[in-house]
């Protein structure tokens, strides 16, 4: 199975900050990498697919980059509604696997 490792596991940031979350795959996954945002008690929401494509309706302050084994989700200017947990997911090979999550908290 492909292991997905996110870092950091949590971070504290202020509104307006630039935030970067990384996701590393245990083997190359090309760009078969998706990012989701999850708020407490809710289902995850798709933000980025294919490593760098912005899902329709998602604010442009979210961006994704990377290929192979190393990926980054960047929030250019953190907004109050962005405080949540973020997960990466690889869909390169079965079983599809998720990272353990990065919780973004208010500083």
Binding site for other proteins (CB under 8 A): 31-34, 36, 43-46, 49-50, 53, 55, 87, 89, 91, 94-101
Residue 83 backbone class (left: φ over 0; alpha: ψ -120 to 50; beta: rest): beta
What's the token pair of residue 57? 């309706």
Strand-pair category, 10-13 with 102-106: parallel
Return the biggest CA–CA distance within the chain: 38
Whose Cβ is closer to other proteins: residue 3's or residue 77's?
Answer: 3
Query: Can you point out the beta strands (E) in the chain?
Result: 4-7, 10-13, 19-25, 33-38, 45-49, 53-54, 62-67, 70-75, 85-90, 97-98, 102-106
């Amino acid at each position: 199975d492909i292991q997905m490792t996110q870092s950091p596991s949590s971070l504290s940031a202020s509104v307006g900050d630039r935030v970067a979350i990384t996701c590393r795959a245990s083997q190359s996954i090309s760009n078969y990498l998706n990012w989701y945002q999850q708020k407490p008690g809710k289902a995850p929401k798709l933000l980025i697919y294919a490593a760098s494509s912005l899902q329709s309706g998602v604010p442009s302050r979210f961006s994704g980059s990377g290929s192979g084994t190393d990926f980054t989700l960047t929030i250019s200017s953190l907004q109050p509604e962005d405080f949540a947990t973020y997960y990466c997911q690889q869909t390169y090979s079965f079983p599809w696997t998720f990272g353990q999550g990065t919780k973004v908290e208010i500083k």
